[in-house]
Amino acid sequence: MQKLRFCYETIEFGDVDIHVRSLRDTQEFHDEGGVAEALGISSALWPLFGVLWDSSRALANLMFEYDIDDKRILEIGCGLGLASLVLNHRHADITATDYHPEVGNFLKVNTALNGDADIPFERAGWEDEGDSLGEFDLIIASDVLYERGHDELLASFIERHARPTCEILVIDPKRGQANRFGRQMESRGFTYTKQPAPSGSRPDEPYKGLILRLLR
């Protein structure tokens, strides 16, 4: 099994630098003990958690100045957790979750690179009803609606973890599942709106996705 190769990047948010270790490319694969395979994560999908996608950059930009006072915040499908790293640097009450077994390890490395406290993390799937995450005031995610059927799974997961008054923000790169997800959330008592997303931190390649905003 090949040894992983990493790259390191510093991303600027105003006058704040966030340092991130990521996988060098999307062809890497290192599933020692077959842990990911047992969870249904194929070799082709394995490295996708470890890349900084434009949607995650856009979400992190949004979180850099977002109102976080007195809010318990959850990032779903966090991957490298760039938004969580930004929020953690702002001393927000942030918890991260992802299905991939390597995410927690990368999150520890990246919080250490930034000299910040560890981010509470739990590996959980959207169909898992026995997790210990609890409920949140603000739930965030980026590029999580990439397969048919994700809309209902994600909506159910959010419903279990949303406080009676809760805001949901999902950065979506227009993969065609947003309206299905919106209808799922409306059936659960949320209002649903769409608006242009902020920059993805690449001035030469403006981000063209959407913010899906849901309120209850």
Q: Look up the pTM and report it.
A: 0.93
For the segment 96-148, what is each residue's pLDDT rounded down to a tens digit? 999 999 999 999 999 999 999 999 999 999 998 889 999 999 999 999 998 88
1 within domain boundaries: no
**Structural domain boundaries, residue 13:** 6-215
189 in a domain, yes or no?
yes
- Structure-token match 């953690």, residue found: 88
Q: How far apart are CA 59 and CA 127, in angstroms?
A: 24
Q: Find the CATH number of the domain harbouring 179.
A: 3.40.50.150
Instruction: Kindly state the greatest CA–CA separation across the chain.
Output: 48
Query: Does residue 167 surpass a pLDDT of 80?
Result: yes
Q: How many separate domains does the chain show?
A: 1
